[in-house]
Homo-oligomer: A and B are copies of this chain.
Amino acid sequence: MATRTRTLRLERGERVQAVCVLGSRLTIDINGAAPTEAQWFSMRHSQNIDAEICNSDTSKMKVINGEKLWSLESGTVMELSMNTPSTEANDGKVTIAYYGPGADTPIDKAGVYLTGVEISLDVDADRDGIVEKNNPNKASWTWGPKGQGAILLVNCDKDSPVSRMRDGDDDIVFGQKDLEDMSPMVLRTRGPEKLPKGYHLLLHITASNSDKIAVFLYQNKMYSHVLGRSKLHYKLRYTGTNEKEFFVEGLCFPDATFPGLVSVSVSLLETLMEGIPEAPIYTDMVTFRMSPLIITPNILEPVEVFVCSVKDNYLFLKEIKSLVSEAHYKISICFEYVNRGDRWMQDEMEFGYIEAPHKGFPVVLDSPRDGGLKDFPIKELLRADFGYVAKTALCSDVSSLDSFGNLEVSPPVTANGKEYPLGRIIIGTSFPTTNGRRMAKVVRDFLYAQQVQPPVELYTDWLLVGHVDEIMTFVPAPDRKGFRLLLASPRACFQLFEQKKKEGHGDAAMFQGLETKRYTISKILSTDTLRQENAYVQRCIDWNRDILKQELGLTEEDIIDIPALFMLEKNEKNGKAANGNALNGKAVSFFPNMVNMIVLGNELGVPKPYGPIIKETCCLEQNIRSVLLPLDLKCTFIDDIVSYHQKLGEVHCGTNVRRKSFAFKWWNMVL
């Protein structure tokens, strides 16, 4: 509500006082103080004032005794503005002299004393990491490389080693590191040392923004919390030409009811009368957008791999450790006293980051799934420059589809003419036409509200566990779009097995060396239920394939089918997916599901499929190796059959990877 043109009233025979903020205008009705008989008027003003007479017939102008006279007509107004800040109060002067019909001497006078001040609330609206002076676009916010408007981080890390809260959860500043997570804001004033009596500056925010941001003032080497929560305004003394330093921290991520924009205003208040609210006569505003949480896809470089140590996964852990250390990444093991027997590291959390031009840091998104790993993200990950945000829901609203094995993100894509430089989030849900399981509304709303990675919804409720990572993954590729989509494919598995049978290997058996029922290739090919169930699974996957092609702009060449077999469970099972839903006829993997892999650059940790051994080689391993080798991808097969597969998960479900940020800045997106 920036009022840039203001009405000022003259008093006949007097000189009224007013403060004029540079960049604003005053409109003055010349008739307002004119004696009834006045027909002409003259106007003089000091050099620091720009004045213009409007709605006077200039053809009637005349000069009498060296004085230029305007014709006074109904509607004649004067517009004033100041071109430099005053050096002392009231150093701008305007004098109007009124003349009667004779126009020889003035019959009355009226005048204005003006004090010019410059007021500018400044932020880094051009997004170069530096607060500039009075950016004309600072009040609004636009996307894109030419976009303008400042950026805030949700101060969701914890710079104090002793605090149990995130930095944004209290109203104090914990040293330099905490400040760096905030966006600087400067209030610049220029003008005389003192203003005429009755003027104040007020910094203010709206009630709806009060739980979204906190503003700290740096003064006398102290940081005071001046706006936020119950503080909607903060009165500032005007102290002449000055710069006041503020720091703004974000408190809330964009969400269903918060689009992400917050504004801070400064107003110059004028006391109209004692005991009455002061009127804002000039308002300057800056607008910030909260950085969204950006989820990192597989193709970004890994930083740190997370995995649980539980009582029965020693060998798995050893193989993962060896893979990670060979690839020279960091590994973090979550021990049993923290994970309480919960091995599903993928499902408890998702890694992402937030970013502003001056700063960015990783953030862990804690899922509403609260297993044994419940406290791991907040207790073990939240720290200085490592943020934390949780989405919680009522127990009754949480299903297996809320585990973050069901939350992935594609590499950058272009689809239907739209660019997605940060990729698109991929989540699994039910058909819109059924009453099946869905991700909790609170999580879906949050993911959609981040805006920069618009979600694609797949149909995964046909799976017992119901996660997108059971049917797909993305791997980096040196050619084409820079990646391939790997899709689990019963069809590809049957084709492979048929070919092997034709080559005389019908007796080659799966699951060798395991205490499970052995299946030969011929047996699998001739088991009707397996055939039928996998035909159904293939159609479910094809349905998702069609959506992924359309929503990510993929062609057949961008997709690689990875052999997989599923079977339908007729009854609810114990374990990971035991969530109380009716699970009749939902699909689980028949053998370790190779697409459920960990992707570490060119190194892939693939669930060891225990496929039919032909010439001492597993033909499934050989198949996936042969299709991925041309892409310079190296497969390491990791035995997860007892420790994960039989508990309805695989390598991907049991691990999590923190990755580097995108080089692309999210604010450069064109939405």
Interface residues of A (CB under 8 A from B): 1, 3-7, 9, 27, 29, 32, 36, 55, 75, 77, 202, 204, 206, 232-233, 257, 265, 267, 269, 272-273, 275-281, 283, 430-436, 457, 459, 461-462, 491, 495, 499, 502, 532-533, 536, 538-540, 542-543, 545-547, 549-550, 556-557, 584-585
Contacts and interface: CB of A to CB of B under 8 A. Distances in A.
A490 to B, nearest CB: 10
Contacts of A29: 556
A556 B280 contact: no
Given A3-B547, A29-B556, 5 more contacts: A9-B539, A9-B542, A32-B491, A75-B556, A283-B432
Contacts of A283: 432
A204 B461 CA distance: 18
B434 A277 contact: yes
Given A279-B540, A433-B233, A546 B6 contact: yes
User: Chain copies in the assembly?
Assistant: 2
Contacts of A202: 433
Given A77-B556, A204-B433, A7 B546 contact: yes
A140 to B, nearest CB: 13
B206 A432 contact: yes
Nearest to A257: B257
B557 A75 contact: yes
Contacts of A7: 542, 545-546
19 contacts: A1-B457, A5-B549, A5-B550, A6-B546, A7-B542, A7-B545, A9-B491, A32-B495, A77-B556, A204-B432, A233-B433, A265-B432, A272-B536, A273-B532, A273-B536, A275-B585, A278-B433, A279-B431, A279-B459
Given A5-B550, A502-B36, A275 B584 contact: yes
Contacts of A435: 232
Chain B CB within 10 Å — which of A3, A77, A267, A277 has the most? A277
A463 to B, nearest CB: 12
Given A32-B491, A491-B32, A432 B1 contact: yes
Contacts of A267: 432-433
Nearest to A502: B36
A670 to B, nearest CB: 19
Contacts of A265: 432
B276 A462 contact: yes
A279 B543 contact: yes
A536 B4 contact: no
B502 A276 contact: no
Nearest to A457: B1
A433 B205 CA distance: 8
Nearest to A492: B32
Contacts of A461: 277
Closest 5 CB pairs of A and B: A7-B542, A273-B536, A277-B434, A272-B536, A272-B539
A207 to B, nearest CB: 9
Contacts of A277: 430-431, 433-434, 436, 461-462
Given A32-B491, A461-B277, A540 B430 contact: no
A4 to B, nearest CB: 7
Nearest to A31: B495
A666 to B, nearest CB: 24
Nearest to A436: B277
A543 B3 contact: yes
Contacts of A550: 3-5
B5 A546 contact: yes
A231 to B, nearest CB: 11
A235 to B, nearest CB: 9
Contacts of A549: 5
A281 B206 CA distance: 48
A552 to B, nearest CB: 13
A3 B546 contact: yes
Contact of A536 (B6, B276, B434, B533): B276
A495 B462 CA distance: 81
A3 to B, nearest CB: 5
A619 to B, nearest CB: 15
Contacts of A32: 491, 495
Contacts of A434: 233, 277
